[in-house]
Structure 1
Amino acid sequence: MQLWSQGKQSAKDGMSHLEGAPRWRKVGGPSPESVHAMRSSSERHTAESRRMISEADRASRRMQQDICKRLEGRIRDIQFLRQELECRLEELLGEIDALTAFSVRVEKALQACSEPLRVTLLCLEERTKRAPVEQECDEVERELLREREVFEDVASLLRRTSEQIVEQIRLNRSAKYYLEKDLKDKFQAQNIDSSCALMANHSFDHDRSSRHATLALPSMVVSPEEWENFSWITIAKAEQEKANSSALRALVDSLLEETATDMQRQIQATASVFQLKIQETKTAKAQMEDHLSRVLSEFASQERNLKALLEAVAEKEIPLGVAQARLSARARRPGTEQCHDAPQARLISEVQELTAYIDRMREAEAQSQTEQRNLIRCQLDLQENIEIKANSLYVDEVICTQLREHVMIHNF
């Protein structure tokens, strides 16, 4: 434009010079001076135009080369950020897969808690079917209640952990979305800049470019620093979520191991007190059965003793009757013959002694009957207690043990 202005100014100067020159007065044509001036002006204009065209060509080539270099630099910047974004995206995808696998592990562990808890509740329910005297809060009851508490706490903890994993997966996917969006935008920007870098003058359609130029919208005013910071912020967010996810996985792994250990320890503790209680019940039942056997033996002995007493009483009533008959007969002696002689004294003494023996044997007979009644009550109590112990033993050793023998705690 500057050259063109200079050319116009030179042409004006030439015209001014011609205006000041004397004009030919002859009618036949222009004067030689005017012809010379016009030719000189035309030559200068031609020279100026050629210089202007040459300078415009050089400027255009220089600007296109500069633009190509700048586009290449821009493409390299985009490629670098794309590599960083793709690397973080790949890492985040792996983290999402790993955390999803941990979510499955937690769900399986949570499902595995339901069966041991169900068995524990069944054992507590079955033990309520024991006799009322056996339904004290023993060590087995306390361990079962503690076991229920452990299982419920573990299930509650696993549910909260599952919710945390779901939330972290959501955050990871949100970071993944922004990484993918940024990658997509940069891919499109790189394609556009690459196509711009490949554009050449010989392949340029001016009419088509003009049509597109009229439809182009003004772009957002984003500085290169803001453009780069936007991607680094997205990368930092993805790295932060990846770090949080990795820390959560470590926590969940430790949590699964600890909860499995706690449940196994509690199950073993409950099984130990169950075995101890079963052994105590068996020992008590065996002692009662031994006592019952002795009571039955003693009852049989008491029956024999009672029979012997009855026979002895019957036997002693005969000589007592004889002695009483003799005394009765001697009471019929006449007059002075009823003296208290030695036979009379011995008969009286015999009656007294036999009566005393019979009375003592009758007392022993009554005592024997009392002992028999006591032995019968003791027998009934022992039989009832043995039945109670047998029922408790059936509940603890058969029902509860069979319910618990299939309970397995795995470290998911």
Structure 2
Amino acid sequence: MAKFVSIYEKPLPHIGLPDWYSKQWELRRSADIRRAEACQLRNSGKSVRAEGNVTTKWDTHTNNTRLADRVTEVSRWKDALEDLLQKLLDEMRLLRDEKADTEKEIENIDHPLRIVSECISIRDCRRGTELTYDEADIELKKELCAIANVKETFTNRSQAAWEKLNHLEDVKFKLSLDIEDKSETIRIDKGNLELDGICANLSYKPITEKTNSITYEIWLDRCQRLKMLVENELTDNYTFREAMRVMKECARNDIKAQQDATDYTLRKRIYQTQKARNEMEWQKLKVQKEMEVLGKEIIQLEEALMNKTGVVKCVETRLENRAYRPGSELCKDEVELGLKGEVLQLKQTKEDLIQIIEHAKASYNSLEALLRRIQKNLDDKQHSLNTDVMCLDTRSTLKGDKSDLSNETNRNIVLTHLKKEIPLES
């Protein structure tokens, strides 16, 4: 270049063409990366937004379903408790009526008591040798004692009925309070079920855990306990009322037929002995059958225990063979873990089988001892049954009425319902 030519350039370092291409490539690569990241971010945002919408929708639907199910459950419990409350009110009404009838019986029993006292006083006016303790005097005093005892029993039962009514009032209060709580709960849950995102009076609320809140299991247990309490009270009250009714009937029968008390007790005892003997025979058959089944089960358990021996040997042999794998192949893979687990499981199974066999044999021995006791009890009941029948036959001369049967023994057999035990002679 000629010396007189002037070249004007910026006083900055210039780059070469390869560097220029390198800068272009770097910018293009950066743009591609940033666009890819932006695209991925947009796709992630769409996914999160769609997933959030779906999750929110299904969570709301699930909670609405739970609220509806909860309302249904509480409503069912409320209906069940209301039904029990109605039954409880009916039982209380019947118990009040029974108590009133008992108090009326107490008032009515004063008249025969006064009559018996008068009879005793009149007979006490006898003079001389006629003033004796004869059978009539003894029977009158027995009747007086019986009536006094009946009156005292009626009074105690009336007092017990009053206490029972007070207890039922407490149960009724608890039941009514629980029904009111469930009604309020149903109202609150139904109100929550009607709420959605566009309802009025919605705001952020602090999520706090109530200190007196209980778990669902405790709530369900309380409901079941309350239901069981009321059902037990209903059963006890029914039994109590029936006992009062039976007591009054027995008292009337005792006053009207005091002479037949001993014979009635004997017939009743024969019936009870017969029933108990039949029960013992049934128990004997059941125990024998159970012993037979248990014996077969013991044999099967022992066979099962013997069968486990070969399986244990097989598994332990597999483990021993795998211990000789060469090099890095000797690893604790799933097969080895499974085989070791199988060994432990088989050992546990054998221990369980041994324990069950021991328990079964002990139970078999217990059943065998029980069978001997039942057989001895059957012999004693049969002897008692024969003795009571003989007692009735011996006391047959005390009866004022006669039966159309051929003899008194057959008559006692019919009275005690022993036709199947001792067949009548043809």
Larger radius of gyration: 1
Bigger relative contact order, structure 1 or 2, given CA contacts below 8 A and separation 6+?
Answer: 1
Structure with more helix by fraction: 1
